[in-house]
Amino acid sequence: MNHFDMEVFYTINHLAIYTPWLNPIMIFFAKFSPELYAGMFILTWFALPRSDGKARHALVVSVFAGIFALVINLIIAHLWFRSRPFAVLPPGSVDQLLAHSANSSFPSDHTAGSFGFAAAAWGNNRHWVSYPFTSLAILVMVARVYCGLHWPTDVIAGMVIGIIAGRSVWLLSRVIYPITTMGLRLFHYGPYHRLLTSTHHTQV
C-alpha cells in the first residue's frame, strides 16, 4: 500500500478513538447517503417554485448522473480488485465502525454516487439546492474513510468519477427530458402549471 493512503487513512480513521462523540454522526453519513439523497430529491422537487421546470429537470439529471457514476464504478471494480483497509491491515489497527463485506474497495460507490448527484446540479440548479448536495457528498467522502471502509484514494477516485458523470450526463439531458415531463405533468409543474392556471381562469 502506498505511503499516502496509509498515512491519511490512519490519520482520519483514528479520529474515531479521540472523538467518540462524532462516531454516530459519521456512521450515519457513511451508511445512509443513498437514502439522504432520495429524501433531498423529494423535498427539493416539492420545495421549488411550481413554475420552475428547469430546476426540476436538473434534479432528474442528477439522479441519472449518480446512476452513471455507479455503472462506471462497477466496470472498474470488475477490472481491478483492491482489498479494503480492514481486510489487509493488522488486526486491531483499524477502527471499523460499520460491518461490510470484503469486496473491492476501489473506487468508492457511495462517494461516486454522491458527487454524481451533486456535480450535475452545479450551475444548473439553485444555490440552496447545489450547496447542500455538495456538502453531503464531502461528508460522505470523509465518513467512508473515518469508518474504516475505504482508502483515501478510493474516495478521491469516487469523487473524480462522480464529477465526470455529473458533467457528462448533461450531454444527454434532452434524452432524459421526457422523464422530467412525466413528473411535471403529473404534479402540474413547469409549463403544466401555467396551463392549469390558464384553464382555471377560463372556467371561472
Quick check: 190 pLDDT over 90? no
pTM for this structure?
0.89
Quick check: 26 pLDDT over 70? yes
Short-list 55, 8, 93, 37, CA closest to 190: 55
The span from the CA of 197 to the CA of 180, in Å, is: 20
Look at the block and give the residue holding cell 450531454. Answer: 171
Higher-pLDDT residue of 190, 153: 153
The span from the CA of 13 to the CA of 147, in Å, is: 6
Look at the block and give the residue holding cell 477516485. Answer: 157
Q: Is 117 left (phi over 0), alpha (psi -120 to 50) or beta?
A: alpha
- Grade residue 102 by pLDDT with cuts at 50, 70 and 90: confident
The predicted-structure confidence for 163-179, as pLDDT tens digits, reads as follows 999 999 999 889 999 99
Beta carbons within 8 Å of 152's beta carbon, 6+ residues apart: 4, 5, 8, 9, 12, 145
Is the peptide bond preceding residue 107 cis, with omega within 30 degrees of 0?
yes
Amino acid 191: pLDDT? 76
